[in-house]
Amino acid sequence: MDADNPNRKTRDTPQWALYQRENFWKINNGEKPLFNTEPGKLEDLAQQKLTEGGWLYASSNAGASYTHLANRQAFYRHKIIPRQLVDTNVRTTSTTIFGHKVSAPIGFAPIGINKIYHPLGELPVAKVAKELNLPYCLSTAGSTAIEDVAAANGDGPRFYQLYLPHDDELAVSLLTRAFKSGFDVCILTTDTWQLGWRHNDVAEGNYAFYRGIGADLGLTDPVFQKRLAAAGIDPKKEPERAGAMWIDNVWHGRAHDWSKMPWLIKTWKEISGGKPFCLKGIQSVADAKKAVEMGVDGIVVSNHAGRQVDGAIASLDALENIVAAVGDKTYIMFDSGIRGGSDVCKALALGAKFVWVGRLWVWGLSIMGEAGVRHVMKSLLADFDILMTVGGFQNVEQMMDRDILESYPKGYAMIAEKSRL
């Protein structure tokens, strides 16, 4: 926390830990920190700020939320073993992902319809990602045009998450727009051919696309505009029908299978000149092996934060299984359940090379827009940086070691608390 720490002269990233000092000092200037970033308090504050629909969509999980619960329980059984008297004055949080040198092994996970959380949608999120030099991943379900998000992200590293339409011309158009806009990695989500059964959303009829909200990414696509015209739908006069036609094309009960993957990989490689293609949503070893056979460049081990299949395996447990099977054959990333710096460390120790964070920055966006996203993510970076210095880690690679954890059996008991874990 020493502002004159010699580490500042040698680091290749900002000294994120100084954000703690900055917040401690605010009182002396008659200021206060923006808000508490403890995950439970963060969630409570977001609920106070959001509309009912925004809150329900952000917080709902599949079924009885037992997959969401399992995601957090899996972290509890792994304990970090700190090392002492390590010279962490000289340390770095940086890493490299698909040729991009970034500030930390942490990225902004793809989350759709950001305009239900803030009027500016994805724009402030993409802007902050660039400022922090963290990868930003745009969802096909985004509520802002691809090109506008790219402009907000500037020269930041950015990836495109694809929900694959059942319209090849439209798929090619989306991928072409993304690559021309500087999104140089394609990540296909494989677990959302239809939304999981989310009780609260269904009970309130809470679905923004069917209310004519959030389909901007599709409505700005020239191929989809042709489809609307052919169907006789004017999106300005009939936003509900336009929104439904857009999202029905990528979700809602129509699945793709492995036979589509060669075409998609070939198409993306041709459009992008050979840039990486990854699959997100992999939980089984069999699927991980199949993905490697298909020639994917990376896998995101994810269960969609427990929003798709209820009663499923914890994503962190799936990570262990998949790393054991194909960890040396492809680039493995992790998603679902990250709430703090220690969670990032545990995922790295279990074999992930990179993690994606979603709900934390959504809460920040909901609470205070751009400033909220920045505060949440700088706090996470500070937490991670401080963990390195007090835990005895000089770099990210030293965390990628199974021996830094003591792990206990998978004895997950049912407990009442779920959503705030």
Phi, psi of 203 (to 5 degrees): -60, -30
Structure tokens at 177: 């727009």
Nearest-angstrom CA–CA distance, 135 and 42? 23
Where in 211-263 does DSSP place strands (E)? Answer: none
Enumerate the active-site residues.
Answer: 304
Which residues make Cβ contacts (< 8 Å) with residue 213, sequence separation at least 6? 113, 115, 116, 143, 239, 243
Strand partners, 357: 108
Nearest-angstrom CA–CA distance, 415 and 421? 11
Q: Do 108 and 137 contact (CB within 8 A), yes or no?
A: yes
Strand partners, 106: 355
Q: Do 175 and 268 contact (CB within 8 A), yes or no?
A: yes
Structure tokens at 421: 């874990």
pLDDT tens, per residue, the chain with 421 residues: 577 777 778 889 999 999 999 999 999 999 999 999 999 999 999 999 999 999 999 999 999 999 999 999 999 999 999 999 999 998 999 999 999 999 999 999 999 999 999 999 999 999 999 999 999 999 999 999 999 999 999 999 999 999 999 999 999 999 999 999 999 999 999 999 999 999 999 999 999 999 999 999 999 999 999 999 999 999 999 999 999 999 998 887 689 999 999 999 999 999 999 999 999 999 999 999 999 999 999 999 999 999 999 999 999 999 999 999 999 999 999 999 999 999 999 999 999 999 999 999 999 999 999 999 999 999 999 999 999 999 999 999 999 999 999 999 988 775 644 445 4
DSSP-assigned states of every residue in 23-65: HHHGGGGT---S----HHHHHHHHHHHS-HHHHHHHH--STTS
Phi, psi of 101 (to 5 degrees): -85, 120
Q: Do 348 and 399 contact (CB within 8 A), yes or no?
A: yes
Nearest-angstrom CA–CA distance, 297 and 353? 13
Q: Can you state the percent helix, strand and coil of the chain, rounding each to 5? A: 50, 10, 40
